[in-house]
Amino acid sequence: MATPDRAPQLFADDLVPGFRFRGEAKTLTADMFRQFAALTDDAHPIHYDEAYAAKTRFGRPLAHGFLLTSLTALGATSFSHSVEDSMVAMLEQRMQFLRPVFVGDVVVPDFEVVSMEPTASGRTARVEMAVWLTNQAGERVIEGRHAYLLRCRPPVA
């Protein structure tokens, strides 16, 4: 039962194909690019060096692909509070990068359940989602798929 401090819980059975939700918008900053580079040791100058990036076809520092990918994880959205009781693991992810993303861009993640397949035990299911990030101009900048292992709704006693 939901409490005022806790989101109502959803399980694999609730996430039928066509179920959609949107994450929160994030404005990307140069500090985010630097922090991601420090965390991952991906310090290619195209991500933070203005002079270097100016000489590339992009003309300015470009967001790390994995920084963008991380913004499409369920855990990066408030929706994750709705699957706290059901989340077992992220199983798979794949991404296609469609457009460059720069400092100052605002990106929003979207999710749509593509399939929900119960496992042999019937207690869990593989839930596959189409995911994408859209920029402030309404353009998709990345898109892909995620698969999660979620618990099914417990039987009512």
Paired residues of 96 in beta bridges = 143
SS3 state at 78 = helix
CA-wise closest residue to 62 among 103, 109, 107: 103
**Residue closest to 47 by CA, chosen among 27, 39, 32:** 32
Tokens at residue 129, please? 């989602």
Model pLDDT, residue 18: 97
pLDDT tier at 43, thresholds 50, 70, 90: confident
Q: Where are the domains of the chain?
A: 12-151
Distances (CA, A) of 63 to 21, 36, 67, 113: 24, 9, 7, 27
pLDDT score of 2 more than 80: no
Per-residue pLDDT reduced to its tens digit, 52-101: 999 999 999 999 999 999 999 998 999 999 999 999 999 999 999 999 99
**CA–CA separation, 91 vs 105, rounded Å?**
29
Tell me what pLDDT residue 3 has.
52
Which CATH number does 12-151 carry?
3.10.129.10
Q: Which pLDDT score is estimated for 154?
A: 83
- Average pLDDT in the chain: 93
Compute φ and ψ for 53, nearest 5 degrees: -65, -30
Contacts of 84 (CB under 8 A, 6+ apart): 7, 9
- Mean pLDDT score, 102-115: 97
Q: Which two tokens stand for residue 2?
A: 């939901």
